[in-house]
Each structure stands twice: as structure tokens, then as C-alpha cells.
Amino acid sequence: MNDPAFLARQRLYKAETGTLVWSEPLPSGGNAVVKLYRRRPLLDPIRRRFIPYRVEREYGLLRRLYEHGVACPEALAWSHGRSRVHGRFERLDTREVEGAVPLTDLPGGPASLELAPLFAQVRRMHAAGVAHGALYARNVLVARTPGPGPQFFLIDLAHGRAFTRDIAGSHPGDYDLLDLLLSLKRQGAIDAAVEWLAAYGLTPDAARSLLKRLERHRNERPWRHFRRIETDSRALLAALGSGASRASAATLTVPDQG
């Protein structure tokens, strides 16, 4: 998959056995970030019949967030096919956020910024009925703005799931908060967590209760897989219980920013 001649022509963000992420120019100006997954040929006919493509799901989640005013890359297109270089693949194109860097790559780290606006963005994502599923500091971009502070963009929703209601206070919503807090704690930026969670909408008592849960929150692979299975089950049950369609999901009420 990782053809040396192909890789040499790209501005790469990730080059792994099953995943490539690179940047390429758009005809209309600016750049697109391209995420390409290599599919397993033996499983492809089965997955294609019963399971949505990963990029199809992520495209839909990004479109929903973008339409509800949540800061995230604009989803441009998704596709799948087969090529000489990549074999069977899935591809997602999003508009690159100019000048943005991962939160973990800031010179001063996450502790150098006021993170309350980030938690306000997470609140809006949950109000839109979206669980991120991998909400770590590395999946948050920071872009400087003309305003008083930076803007935070939520990226990489490959493990995200859609619900038909606000998920604040639910298990999937709490898992997002705990994952984000744990990753920030590992970066040495956790002292103002009660104030950040106030921006999310939690009372001081509720914030302290969540931080107690953080002490025993585990994020190793088996725990991640278990929580994703639980989130998938909850999303399926919610959809079956409400009989919701894509059209009804677009009518969710999202609180105003600020």
C-alpha cells in the first residue's frame, strides 16, 4: 500500500499499513486532507452489504456537526474503490484547517491555553447527538483567530456514532469527556478541570463527581473496544426505539454558542 513513489509526492500526516493521511491542493484553492483506509478484500463483500463504510459514517458525522455550527473540518467527499497503488480502499476528503496544529503539538502544550472553549465545543457536539468515540487531545486542532483566543476544531470521528438526541449525561457523552480529560491529564494540564467542565454545563458537584470517575478511567485497547461496543448498542437501540430517520436527526436543537 505504501508505495515509495506515491509517498514521496505527498505532504504526509500519517503513513501506516492500513491508513494513509495526506494533504493535496484543491482546484478551488486551499488544501484537502485525504484519509485513505485499505480494506480487506475477503471481508469487503460482506461489509459492503451489511456495514456502512467507515468514511461514509465519518462523512455524515462531520456534515452534521458542520451544519450545527460545531468547529470541525468541512467534509467534502467520500469514495471507495480499487487502485493499483492502494488495492481496495475507502477515501474521505475534508477541507484542511489552515494554520491549525494538534493540541498536543503546541510548544507550551495544552496547559498554555484556556481550554474552556474546547469543552463548550464538546457540549455542542453532544447536543447535536454525536459521540466522538476517540476524543483525545491529539484529535483536537488549534487555530489562531483574530479574536481574543484560539479556536478548537474536533477531528477524526472514525469511531464516532450518531444519536437522535442530546447525549450529555449519557454513557457515550461521559466517555468522551473522560477520554479528553485523561489525555489532558497525561499532558500535565488538568488543574482547571472544574472550570472547563462548567463551560460544558456541569455544576461544580457534577464536575467533581466526574473527576472522581477519572481516577479509575481506563483507556487501554480492551476497554476502548468494550466502550465502543456499548456505544454501538446504545445508538442502535436509540434508533430502533424512536424510528428516527436522517431527516429527523437534522432537526435536533443545538444551544447557541457562548
Q: What is the pLDDT of residue 250?
A: 40
If asked whether residues 109 and 141 sit together in one domain, one would say: yes
Q: Dihedrals φ, ψ of 6, to 5°? A: -65, -50
If asked whether residues 144 and 204 sit together in one domain, one would say: yes
In a domain, 82, yes or no: yes
In a domain, 110, yes or no: yes
Q: What is the pLDDT of residue 144?
A: 83
Which pLDDT tens digit goes with each residue over 110-151? Answer: 988 999 999 999 999 999 999 999 999 999 999 987 677 789
If asked whether residues 74 and 142 sit together in one domain, one would say: no
In a domain, 258, yes or no: no
What is the domain extent for residue 24? 4-95
Q: What is the pLDDT of residue 108?
A: 86
If asked whether residues 115 and 242 sit together in one domain, one would say: yes
Q: What is the pLDDT of residue 254?
A: 47
If asked whether residues 188 and 136 sit together in one domain, one would say: yes
Output the domain CATH number for residue 15. 3.30.200.20
Output the domain CATH number for residue 109. 1.10.510.10
Q: What is the pLDDT of residue 50?
A: 62
If asked whether residues 23 and 121 sit together in one domain, one would say: no
pTM (two decimals) = 0.86
Q: 244-251 long-range CB contacts below 8 Å, 24 or more apart?
A: 244/164, 246/60, 248/164, 249/64, 249/129, 249/162, 249/164, 250/64, 250/67
Domain end, chosen from 95, 110, 128, is at: 95
In contact, 159 and 133? CB cutoff 8 Å: yes
If asked whether residues 116 and 232 sit together in one domain, one would say: yes
Q: What proportion of the chain, given as a percentage, has pLDDT over 90?
A: 62
In a domain, 254, yes or no: no
> How far is C-alpha 155 from the geometric centre of its chain's CA atoms?
4
Which pLDDT tens digit goes with each residue over 78-104? Answer: 999 988 888 889 999 999 999 999 999
Q: What is the pLDDT of residue 256?
A: 52
Count of domains for the chain? 2
Q: What is the pLDDT of residue 237?
A: 86
In a domain, 177, yes or no: yes
In a domain, 116, yes or no: yes
Residue ranges of the chain whose pLDDT lies below 50? 1, 244-255, 257-258
